[in-house]
Each structure stands twice: as C-alpha cells, then as structure tokens.
Amino acid sequence: MRDPHEQVAAVLVDPAVLGALELDLMGRDLWVWPVATAPNVVDGERAAFQMRRRMVMARRGAWDDAHDFAAIWVSFGASWRDGAEPLPWAAHEAVWATLRAYGDRVRFRPALVGVPPLSVPVERSA
C-alpha cells in the first residue's frame, strides 16, 4: 500500500518572477511551496538541489539556463478537491495555463508528481 501523498506540479521558476507567479496561482486556489522550505521535507536545500538538477539534466541542455531557478511545488487548494476523488482536469489546466503564461521564466513538465502531504496553516479564532 502506498504512503499518503498528494499530487503537485514540480516547477522551476526564475526568482525574479516567483512573487508574481505565487500571487497569480493563489488567485486560483493553487499554493506555492518552495521545496527548500517545505514542511514535509527533512533536508529542503538538498531536495531542492536534487529536484532542480534532475529537471535540468532531463532536458539535455535545453534548460541549462534554469540551473539557478527556484524549485517549487504547486499544490491544489480545497476548492479543487472532492474528497478522495482524483483532481478534475480543470485543475490540471489551471496550473499549466498559469505556468505557460510566464514563458521561459518558468520550466515544468505537464505532469503531476506525488509528495508527502503538505498542510496549509489554518488561522485560529479566539
């Protein structure tokens, strides 16, 4: 049996546009998790380095300029979820369309990967 996980988009993003991308994604109930500081990773800096290296190397030179991009995961907020059902295709398209709008400032493969569950902090009322 597989350990609990959630589906995320693995993305490399130019740090100069990271803030703008995060705001665009948040408006669609999509959450940015920098791998280096993600709460579900023990050694975040190493995990980010490995993810970035793996993605750049897989493109055999085509993404060499992304060697210093930030490694992030994009997860799906509650509005995209329906219990244990798979994510709807509209959720996939929302992520890919937003990422495509950033052109060469963002590098990704249009497929989701499984990572240990990420938890969004919840505000408590008094």
Residue 122's pLDDT is 62
Residue 126's pLDDT is 60
Q: What is the mean pLDDT of each run of 10 residues along the chain (126 residues)?
A: 86 98 97 95 95 95 94 95 88 97 97 88 63
Can you tell me the distance from the alpha carbon of 37 to that of 48, in angstroms, rounded to the nearest whole number? 9
Residue 12's pLDDT is 98
Residue 35's pLDDT is 97
Can you tell me the distance from the alpha carbon of 117 to that of 115, in angstroms, rounded to the nearest whole number? 6
